[in-house]
C-alpha cells in the first residue's frame, strides 16, 4: 500500500487534515503514537464557549477518520524519519510498536485490564489514577483495542536460566494471587519448592533494586508460594495426546524432571529411568536437609508423577541408544555429574579421606561417620565444599576447616554461603593447595602448601605453589570437594572423540550425534546451578516436542524475548525513590545441631512487603493473567515492533503541543501539595469519564467548596522563558468555572488574573456569563501558596486593584498552565531542515498569506504544532494545511 | 500534610498490594477516604488513588452522595476481587 499524504498525529488537527485530504481522493496515512486517535480533545470535559461535550463531538470525527475509505490509521506508531527526495516527495520510516494483542481478535472487553497485576499512572487521566499494564486507553478509544505496555523483559526474568517469569510471580503475589504465582512457575518447572529454597537466584543479582536498597527477595517469594500451594488430591493423570510420542528420560534430577514434566504437559508419554533409589538427583542426595528438606523434593516430584510420568527408580541405563529399540521415540539423557573428581595427591587412598558427594549422601541417609568432637578438613572452595563443611558442623564436629586454593574473597562458593558458614563456626583457610594427606592407613592431617596462583594469564585453571611454605591441618576426616564430572560409561556411542573440547550435544538444540537422542543439564554443561539444569530440561523438552510433532527444532524461537530493560531507564522513571529496606537477615546459630531447615518460611506480611519493593521494570510482568482471562485468545506476547519505509508525496505535521510543567513554578507547590492541580487535571476531574466517582480533591477525597484558579501559569512569564500568551487558558478556566458552579452550586470560585483575554466568537459573553454565575475574578498575582495542616491552601497574592498584599484560603487550587511547543516534529527531519520559530513551534514561513506552509517544500503544519490555538482555530488551520498539501500533490503529479 | 509525598509512580504501583488491606478495612462497612487512611496508616492522598483504582475496575463503589462532612463513603463490591 502506498500513500499520497502522511499525517503525523491523530489529534483533532490531524484527523481534520486526513479527512479533508481523503475527501479529495488522496490516500492518506495517519500515524499516531498513542494507542488511540483523538489527541487532547477527546480527554476534555466540554468545549468552550458552547459547552458541548468534547467526547460527543470528537468521537464522530474519530470514527469518520478510521472508517474513511481513503484514510489508514496506525496507532501506537511513530514516524522515525522524513527525508525529502529530489522529485519533491518524501522517504519516510515508520515504526509500529507491538501491541502484544491480536487486533483482529480483540473485542475490547477489558477483561485483560481487570486481570492485569501491574498498575501504572494513567496518562489519559493526567496521572490522577492508575491504569493497568494491559489497558484500553479510554472508553471512547478508537480503535477500542487493548494494548500491553512492555518496556522490555524485566532483568529478573531475563536473568533466569530456567526461563521462569520471575517478575510475573512477584506481581501475582503482590496481587494476592498465590496459587496463580505457583502455577506460573510451574509453566517452567515442577521444582517450585526446591528452587524456592536452593536457587542461587540470578534473578536477584539482576534486580534493579540492587541499585537502591537491595534486591527484591524473589527466591523466597517462590518458596512462599510453594509453601502455600495446596496440592490437589491425587487424581487420575490426564490422558496423553494421541498424537504425542513416547519418550524416555534418563535421570531424575532437575533437568530430567523438568524435561519430563514439560513433555508430559505437551501430551507425550514419558518414563524416567533413575539409577538411585529415589528421584531428585542432587536435590535429593547432594543438598543438605537444612537447605532442602526431602519432603519438599518429594512434593516437587509429585508434580511430575501427577501428570502421569512414570519414574522407575533403581534402574541404570547403560545403553541409551537401545531404548529406541524398546519403543521410545526419543530419549533425553540427563544423568548429571555424579562422579566426584579425585585429588591426585599422596595419601588420597587413606581411610578417613572421602569425597563430598559420598559424605553428603551419607548425611542425608543418616549414615555419616560419628563426628562428635572431631576435626574435619574440607578441601575445596565451592558451594559443595561449604555444604560439606556446614553438614560436618551439624554432625557435631568440634572443628571444621575449609582449605581452598582460592583466597576467601575469590572462593567459587557464593559469598553469603561462605559468610553463613563462618558464622556457624567453620574456619576458612584460603590460598592453600594440597600437597598430600598425612597418616598411616588412616588419615591424621592435611598437608597444604601455599598457593601462589590459581589461573594463568588466559584464565585457565593452572595452579602454582610455593613448596617452601607448608603447614599441617589435623583432621579425623577429610572431605574432598574439588569438582564433579559426568559418568561417561553409558555414553559410549555418544561421547565425541575429544570429550574435553567437543560438547555432548548441540548447545542450542541439545541434540546428540544420534538422531532422536538428546542430552540436557549438567551432563552437557558440567556442574552448574540447579536453575541452569532446569533451563536445559525445558529446552530439551521443547526440541523433543518439535521432533515428535514433525516441526523443525527452532532454538531461536525458544530463546526469543524482548531485550532486558536497562536498570538506569527504570530508575529514571521516578524523581525520587522511597527507601524500602529488604527483609532483615536471619540470625545464624554459631553451633548448629541437626539438619532442621534453616531458613524460616516467609509470612504473608513479609511477602507483601517484599513484593512492594518491586519496581515493575518491564512494566508488563509477564504474569500471563491476561492470557488466562482473554476469552478471544487475543494476547500475543511474541509480537515485535515493525518498521517500514515508504514514499509519500506530502506531509502534514499535526503533532500538537505540550503543557507547561507546573512544578517549574515551585512557589505554587504543584507536586508537593496534593490539592494543587493543573487545568488539564481539572478537565479530567470534570469529564464524564473522570478518574473519580465525583468531583473530589486529590488530597483526601473531599468535595471542594473553595476553588481558586491562577491564570497565566507558565504563560506570559519571562521567568520561565515563555513570554507568549497561550490563548486558551483564560477560556478553559472560565469553562471550568461554569462547570464547577453547575456541579457544585454552593462552591466559591475565585480566579486570579492580570486580565482576561476573551477574543473569539462568543467568548466575551461566555466570560460575562461566568461572572454572572458567581465566579469572582480578582486582578492579582499569586506570589506563593502554603499548605495548611488539613491540606487546604493559603494563597498569598498581590491585589492589583489597590488591596496590596493579601491572602486567602482555598480547598483546591487550579493552575491554568500554558501551551508549549512539542519538539517531536523537529526531530523527524535531517538537521535544520524544518525551521522553528522563536518559541520552537513549527515555523510558518508566510503566516499571513500562506498559513501552514513550512520551511520544507511539501511539508505543512496543522493546528497547535504551529502555535497555541483553540479547537475551532486548530480545525480551520488543519483544513488550510490539507488544502496546501493537496495543491502540492497536484504540482508534483502522481507517484510513478 | 504533604511533606513526605512519595513519587506518584511509586504510589500507583502500590495499588495492587493495597487491594487486600483495603478490602479488609471495608469489611465492617463503608468508609470515607480519611477513615480508610487512618485504618491503613497511609496518607489519604495515596488511599484515594488506590480506592479510585479499585472503583475503576469494579472492586469498590461509592455509597450515595457526599455527606455533610464533604466525604463520600465507599464499600467493597461483594464477590469482586481475587
Asked if B1 lies within 8 A of A578 by C-beta distance, the reply is no
Q: Is A128 on the interface with B (CB under 8 A)?
A: yes
Task: State pLDDT tens for residues A97-120.
Answer: 999 999 999 999 999 999 999 999
What is the interface size between A and B, counted as CB pairs within 8 Å?
131
Q: Is B62 on the interface with A (CB under 8 A)?
A: yes
Distance of CA A380 to the CA centre of its chain: 38
Residues A649/A25, Cβ–Cβ less than 8 Å: no
Grid coordinates representing A295 are 519432603
Is this prediction's pTM over 0.90? yes
Tell me which chain B residue has its CA closest to the CA of residue A138.
Answer: B56
CA angle A379, A384, A388 (to 5 degrees): 70
Please give the Cα distance from A511 to A293 (Å, whole number): 34
Residues A354/A480, Cβ–Cβ less than 8 Å: yes
Distance of CA A392 to the CA centre of its chain: 42
Task: State pLDDT tens for residues A189-235.
Answer: 999 999 999 999 999 999 999 999 999 999 999 999 999 997 666 56
Residues B50/B14, Cβ–Cβ less than 8 Å: yes
Instruction: Of A814, A821, A863, give the one whose Cα is nearest residue A841.
Output: A821
Q: Is A702 on the interface with B (CB under 8 A)?
A: yes
Instruction: Report the pLDDT value the prediction gives residue B4, as an integer from 0 to 100.
Output: 65
Partner residue facing B48 (CB), from A119, A612, A698: A698
Alpha helices, H only, A491-635 = 522-525, 530-548, 555-559, 567-572, 604-611, 625-629
Which residues in B lie closer than 8 A to residue A608 (C-beta atoms)? 17, 20
Tell me which chain B residue has its CA closest to the CA of residue A690.
Answer: B56
Give the CB-side neighbour count of residue B57, counting CA atoms within 13 A. Answer: 28
- Considering all CA atoms of chain A, what is the largest pairwise distance in Å, rounded to the nearest integer? 111
Task: State pLDDT tens for residues A460-511.
Answer: 889 999 999 999 999 999 999 999 999 988 887 776 655 555 678 999 999 9
Question: Which residues, in sequence order, are CB contacts of A847 under 8 Å at separation 6+?
Answer: none
CATH 3.40.190.10 fits domain B8-76: no
pLDDT at B1 over 60: no
Please give the Cα distance from B57 to B61 (Å, whole number): 10
Asked if B13 lies within 8 A of A119 by C-beta distance, the reply is yes
Residues A450/A419, Cβ–Cβ less than 8 Å: no
Please give the Cα distance from A810 to A751 (Å, whole number): 12
Question: Which residues, in sequence order, are CB contacts of A443 under 8 Å at separation 6+?
Answer: A347, A350, A351, A352, A353, A437, A475, A476, A477, A478
- The residue written with cell numbers 532437575 in the block is A254
Chain A closest-CA separation from residue B39 CA (Å)? 14
Tell me which chain A residue has its CA closest to the CA of residue B31.
Answer: A701
How would residue A803 be classed by pLDDT, with cut points 50, 70 and 90?
confident
How far CA A187 is from CA of A112, A163, A637, B17, in Å, comes to 20, 9, 15, 24
Instruction: Of A569, A828, A777, A813, give the one whose Cα is nearest residue A697.
Output: A813
Residues A862/A881, Cβ–Cβ less than 8 Å: yes
Partner residue facing A608 (CB), from B15, B17, B62: B17
Q: Is B24 on the interface with A (CB under 8 A)?
A: no
Q: Is B29 on the interface with A (CB under 8 A)?
A: no
pLDDT at A49 over 60: yes
Residues A616/A168, Cβ–Cβ less than 8 Å: no
What does the domain layout of chain B look like in residue ranges?
8-76
Rounded (to 5) percent helix, strand, coil in chain A: 30, 25, 45
Asked if B7 lies within 8 A of A127 by C-beta distance, the reply is no
Please give the Cα distance from A384 to A386 (Å, whole number): 5
Strands A642-648 and A432-440, bridge-based pairing: unpaired
Residues A18/A61, Cβ–Cβ less than 8 Å: no
Residues 167-186, chain A: which have Cβ within 8 Å of B?
171, 174-177
Asked if B44 lies within 8 A of A787 by C-beta distance, the reply is no
Task: State pLDDT tens for residues A246-278.
Answer: 999 999 999 999 999 999 999 999 999 999 999
SS3 B77: coil
Tell me which chain B residue has its CA closest to the CA of residue A616.
Answer: B13
Question: In this predicted complex, what is the ipTM?
Answer: 0.96
Beta bridge partners of A810: A793
Which residues in B lie closer than 8 A to residue A669 (C-beta atoms)? 2
Task: State pLDDT tens for residues A376-431.
Answer: 999 999 999 999 999 999 999 999 999 999 999 999 999 999 999 999 999 999 99
Task: State pLDDT tens for residues A139-150.
Answer: 999 999 999 999
Amino acid at each position: 500500500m502506498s500513500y499520497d499524504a502522511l499525517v503525523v498525529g491523530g489529534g483533532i488537527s490531524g484527523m481534520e487534515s486526513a479527512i479533508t485530504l481523503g475527501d479529495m481522493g488522496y490516500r492518506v496515512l495517519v500515524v499516531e503514537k498513542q494507542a488511540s486517535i483523538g489527541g487532547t480533545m477527546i480527554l476534555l470535559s466540554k468545549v468552550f464557549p458552547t459547552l458541548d461535550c468534547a467526547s460527543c463531538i470528537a468521537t464522530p470525527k474519530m470514527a469518520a477518520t478510521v472508517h474513511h475509505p481513503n484514510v489508514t490509521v496506525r496507532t501506537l506508531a511513530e514516524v522515525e524519519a522524513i527525508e525529502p527526495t529530489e522529485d519533491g516527495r518524501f522517504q519516510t520510516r515508520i515504526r509500529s510498536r507491538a501491541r502484544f494483542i491480536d487486533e483482529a481478535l480483540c473485542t475490547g472487553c477489558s477483561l485483560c485490564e481487570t486481570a492485569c497485576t501491574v498498575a501504572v499512572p494513567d496518562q489519559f487521566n493526567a496521572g490522577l489514577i492508575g491504569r493497568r499494564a494491559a489497558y484500553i486507553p479510554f472508553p471512547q478509544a478508537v480503535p477500542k483495542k487493548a494494548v500491553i505496555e512492555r518496556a522490555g523483559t524485566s532483568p529478573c526474568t531475563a536473568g533466569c536460566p530456567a526461563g521462569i517469569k520471575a517478575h510475573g510471580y512477584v506481581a501475582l503475589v503482590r496481587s494476592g494471587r498465590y496459587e496463580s504465582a505457583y502455577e506460573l512457575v510451574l509453566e517452567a518447572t515442577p521444582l517450585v519448592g526446591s528452587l524456592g529454597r536452593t536457587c542461587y537466584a540470578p534473578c536477584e543479582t539482576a534486580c534493579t533494586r540492587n541499585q537502591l536498597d537491595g534486591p527484591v527477595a524473589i527466591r523466597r517469594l517462590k518458596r512462599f508460594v510453594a509453601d502455600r500451594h495446596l496440592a490437589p488430591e491425587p487424581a487420575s493423570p490426564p490422558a496423553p495426546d494421541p498424537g504425542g510420542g513416547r519418550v524416555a528420560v534418563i535421570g531424575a534430577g532437575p533437568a530430567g524432571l523438568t524435561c519430563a514434566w514439560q513433555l508430559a504437559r505437551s501430551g507425550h508419554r514419558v518414563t524416567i529411568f533413575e539409577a538411585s533409589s529415589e528421584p531428585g538427583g542432587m536435590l535429593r542426595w547432594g543438598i543438605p536437609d537444612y537447605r532442602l528438606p526431602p519432603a519438599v523434593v518429594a512434593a516437587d516430584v509429585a508434580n511430575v508423577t501427577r501428570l502421569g510420568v512414570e519414574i522407575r527408580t533403581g534402574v541404570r541405563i547403560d545403553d541409551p541408544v537401545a531404548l529406541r529399540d524398546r519403543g521410545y521415540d526419543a530419549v533425553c539423557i540427563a544423568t548429571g555429574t555424579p562422579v566426584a573428581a579425585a585429588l591426585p595427591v599422596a595419601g588420597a587412598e587413606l581411610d578417613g579421606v572421602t569425597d563430598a558427594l559420598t559424605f553428603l549422601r551419607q548425611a542425608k541417609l543418616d549414615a555419616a561417620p560419628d563426628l562428635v568432637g572431631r576435626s574435619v578438613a574440607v578441601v575445596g572452595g565451592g558451594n559443595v565444599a561449604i555444604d560439606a563443611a556446614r553438614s560436618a558442623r551439624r554432625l557435631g564436629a568440634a572443628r571444621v576447616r575449609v582449605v581452598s586454593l582460592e583466597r576467601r574473597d575469590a572462593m567459587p562458593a557464593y559469598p553469603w554461603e561462605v559468610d553463613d558458614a563462618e558464622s556457624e563456626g567453620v574456619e576458612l583457610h584460603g590460598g592453600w593447595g594440597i600437597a598430600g594427606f598425612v597418616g598411616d592407613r588412616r588419615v591424621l592431617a592435611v598437608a597444604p602448601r601455599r598457593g601462589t596462583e590459581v589461573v594463568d594469564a588466559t584464565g585457565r585453571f593452572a595452579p602454582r605453589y610455593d613448596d617452601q611454605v607448608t603447614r599441617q591441618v589435623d583432621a579425623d576426616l577429610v572431605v574432598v570437594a574439588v569438582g564433579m564430572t559426568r559418568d561417561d560409561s553409558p555414553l559410549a556411542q555418544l561421547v565425541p572423540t575429544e570429550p574435553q573440547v567437543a560438547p555432548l550435544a548441540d548447545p542450542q538444540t541439545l541434540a546428540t550425534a544420534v538422531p532422536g537422542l538428546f542430552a540436557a543439564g549438567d551432563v552437557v554443561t558440567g556442574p552448574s546451578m540447579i536453575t541452569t539444569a532446569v533451563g536445559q530440561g525445558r529446552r530439551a523438552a521443547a526440541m523433543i516436542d518439535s521432533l515428535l510433532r514433525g516441526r523443525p527444532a527452532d532454538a531461536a524461537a525458544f530463546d526469543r524475548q524482548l531485550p532486558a530493560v536497562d536498570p538506569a531507564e527504570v530508575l529514571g522513571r521516578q524523581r525520587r525513590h522511597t527507601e524500602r529496606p529488604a527483609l532483615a537477615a536471619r540470625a545464624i546459630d554459631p553451633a548448629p545441631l541437626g539438619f532442621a531447615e534453616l531458613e524460616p518460611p516467609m509470612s504473608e506480611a513479609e511477602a507483601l512487603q517484599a513484593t512492594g519493593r518491586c519496581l515493575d521494570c518491564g512494566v508488563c510482568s509477564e504474569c500471563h493473567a491476561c492470557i488466562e482471562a482473554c476469552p478471544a485468545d487475543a494476547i500475543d506476547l511474541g509480537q515485535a515492533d515493525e518498521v517500514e519505509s515508504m514514499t509519500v508525496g506530502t506531509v502534514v505535521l499535526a503533532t500538537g503541543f505540550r503543557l507547561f510543567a507546573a512544578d517549574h513554578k515551585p512557589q505554587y507547590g504543584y507536586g508537593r501539595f496534593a490539592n494543587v492541580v493543573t487545568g488539564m487535571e481539572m478537565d479530567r476531574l470534570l469529564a464524564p469519564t473522570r478518574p473519580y466517582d465525583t468531583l473530589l480533591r486529590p488530597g483526601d477525597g473531599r468535595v471542594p467548596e473553595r476553588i481558586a484558579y491562577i491564570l497565566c501559569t507558565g504563560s506570559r512569564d519571562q521567568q520561565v522563558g515563555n513570554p507568549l500568551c497561550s490563548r486558551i487558558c483564560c477560556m478553559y478556566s472560565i469553562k471550568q468555572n461554569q462547570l464547577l458552579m453547575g456541579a457544585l452550586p454552593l462552591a466559591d470560585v475565585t480566579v486570579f488574573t492580570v486580565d482576561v483575554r476573551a477574543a473569539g466568537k462568543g467568548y466575551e459573553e461566555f466570560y460575562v456569563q461566568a461572572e454572572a454565575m458567581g465566579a469572582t475574578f480578582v486582578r492579582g498575582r499569586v506570589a506563593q501558596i502554603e499548605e495548611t495542616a488539613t491540606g487546604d491552601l493559603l494563597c498569598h497574592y498581590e491585589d492589583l486593584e489597590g488591596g496590596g498584599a493579601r491572602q486567602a484560603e482555598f480547598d483546591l487550587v487550579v493552575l491554568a498552565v500554558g501551551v508549549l511547543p512539542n519538539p517531536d516534529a523537529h526531530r523527524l527531519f535531517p538537521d535544520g531542515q524544518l525551521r522553528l520559530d522563536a518559541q520552537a513551534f513549527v515555523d510558518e514561513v508566510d503566516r499571513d498569506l500562506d498559513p501552514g506552509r513550512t520551511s520544507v517544500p511539501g511539508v505543512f503544519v496543522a493546528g497547535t504544532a504551529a502555535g497555541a490555538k483553540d479547537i475551532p482555530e486548530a480545525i480551520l488551520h488543519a483544513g488550510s494545511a490539507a488544502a496546501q498539501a493537496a495543491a502540492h500533490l497536484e504540482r508534483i503529479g502522481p507517484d510513478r | 500534610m504533604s511533606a513526605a509525598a512519595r513519587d506518584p509512580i511509586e504510589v500507583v504501583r502500590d495499588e495492587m498490594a493495597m487491594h487486600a488491606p483495603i478490602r479488609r478495612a471495608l469489611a465492617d462497612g463503608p468508609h470515607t477516604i480519611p477513615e480508610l487512611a487512618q485504618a491503613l496508616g497511609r496518607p489519604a492522598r495515596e488511599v484515594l488513588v488506590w480506592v479510585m483504582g479499585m472503583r475503576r475496575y469494579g472492586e469498590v463503589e461509592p455509597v450515595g452522595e457526599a455527606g455533610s462532612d464533604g466525604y463520600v463513603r465507599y464499600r467493597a463490591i461483594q464477590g469482586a476481587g481475587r
